[in-house]
Chain A
Amino acid sequence: MANHSDASEENQKRKTATSDPREKATYAVPVAKGLINTLKHILRNEPNTIHYPDEKRTPYPGYRGEHRLKRDELGREKCVACFMCSTACPAHCIEIVAEEAPWDDREKRPRLFNIDMMRCIYCGMCEEACPCDAIELTPVFNIPARTRAEKIYDKDKLLSL
Chain B
Amino acid sequence: MADQQTNDDTVAMTRWQLNGQEVESPTGMTIMEAAKEHGIEIPCFCYHPGLSIAGNCRICMVESNRSRKPVISCSEKIAEGLEIETESELAVSSRNSVMEFQLINHPLDCPVCDKAGECTLQDHSYKHGPDRSRFVEDKNIRHTKELGPSISIWGNRCIVCTRCIRFCDEISGTSELCIVERGDRSVVDVFPEIPIDNQLAGNTVDICPVGALISHDFKYEARVWNMDRKDSVCGGCSRGCNVEVETLDGFVKRLMPRENLEVNDWWMCDEGRYGWRHLYADDRLSQATRDGAALADVSATAALEQLLCESGPVAFLIDPYLTCEEMHLVQGLAASRPGSSVGGWLPEDGNAANFPSGFTISAAKYPNRAGAELIFGDQVFGDDAKELQKSLVSSDFTTVVAFCGGHLSSGPGESWAKSLSSTPTSIIFSVKNGPWLEGASLVLPATAPIEKDGTWINEDGRLQRTRSCWSPGTEPFSVELVRLQTLQNALGIRGRSLSAAGIFRELAATHDSFAGHNHSDLGSPGLLLSQRPAGIAMDGGSE
Contact = CB atoms under 8 A, between A and B. Distances in A.
B226 A108 contact: no
Contacts of B225: 87
B126 interface: no
Interface string A95-109: 000111000001110
A59 interface: no
Contact of B220 (A84, A87, A108, A132): A108
A152 B223 CA distance: 22
A139 B183 CA distance: 52
B45 to A, nearest CB: 24
Nearest to A84: B111
Interface stretch (A24-32, A40-48, A75-83): A75-83
A131 interface: yes
B194 interface: no
Interface in A103-161: 106-108, 131-132
A81 B220 CA distance: 9
B510 to A, nearest CB: 47
B226 A83 contact: yes
B220 A80 contact: no
A87 B223 contact: yes
Contacts of B219: 100
B353 interface: no
A131 B220 contact: no
Contact of A131 (B111, B221, B223, B226): B111
B136 interface: no
B227 to A, nearest CB: 12
Interface in B207-252: 219-221, 223, 225-226
A87 B227 CA distance: 12
A83 B220 contact: no
A125 to B, nearest CB: 16
Contact of A80 (B111, B221, B223, B226): B111
B2 interface: no
B112 interface: yes
A28 to B, nearest CB: 63
Contacts of A87: 223, 225-226
Interface residues of B, number: 8
B220 A82 contact: no
A108 B113 CA distance: 10
A2 to B, nearest CB: 48
B112 A108 contact: yes
Interface string B82-120: 000000000000000000000000000001100000000
- Most chain A CB neighbours (cut-off 10 Å) among B220, B225, B226: B220
Interface in A52-100: 80-84, 87, 98-100
Contacts of A81: 112, 220
B112 A107 contact: yes
B220 A98 contact: yes
Contacts of A132: 111
A101 to B, nearest CB: 9
A106 B144 CA distance: 12
Contacts of B112: 80-82, 106-108
A93 to B, nearest CB: 14
B408 to A, nearest CB: 27
Contacts of B220: 81, 98-100, 107-108
Contacts of A108: 112, 220
A110 to B, nearest CB: 10
Nearest to B219: A100
A27 B226 CA distance: 60
Nearest to B249: A95
A115 to B, nearest CB: 17
A116 to B, nearest CB: 15
Nearest to B223: A83
Contacts of B221: 98
B459 to A, nearest CB: 40
A82 to B, nearest CB: 3
Contacts of B226: 83, 87
Nearest to A108: B112
Contacts of A106: 112
A48 to B, nearest CB: 46
A98 B226 CA distance: 14
B254 to A, nearest CB: 15
Contacts of A80: 111-112
Contacts of A131: 111
Nearest to A83: B223
B142 to A, nearest CB: 15
Contacts of B223: 83, 87
Interface string B329-344: 0000000000000000
A45 to B, nearest CB: 56
A137 B219 CA distance: 30
Contacts of B111: 80, 82, 84, 131-132
A132 B110 CA distance: 12
A87 B226 CA distance: 8
A131 B226 CA distance: 19
A100 B220 CA distance: 7
Nearest to B144: A107
A118 to B, nearest CB: 20
B317 to A, nearest CB: 41
A106 B111 CA distance: 11
A80 B113 CA distance: 11
Given A82-B112, A108-B112, 5 more contacts: A80-B112, A83-B223, A87-B223, A87-B226, A106-B112
- Per CB-CB distance, the 4 closest pairs between chain A and chain B, nearest first, are A82-B111, A98-B220, A83-B223, A107-B112
17 contacts: A80-B111, A80-B112, A81-B220, A82-B111, A83-B223, A83-B226, A87-B226, A98-B221, A99-B220, A100-B219, A100-B220, A106-B112, A107-B112, A107-B220, A108-B112, A108-B220, A132-B111
Interface of B: 111-112, 219-221, 223, 225-226
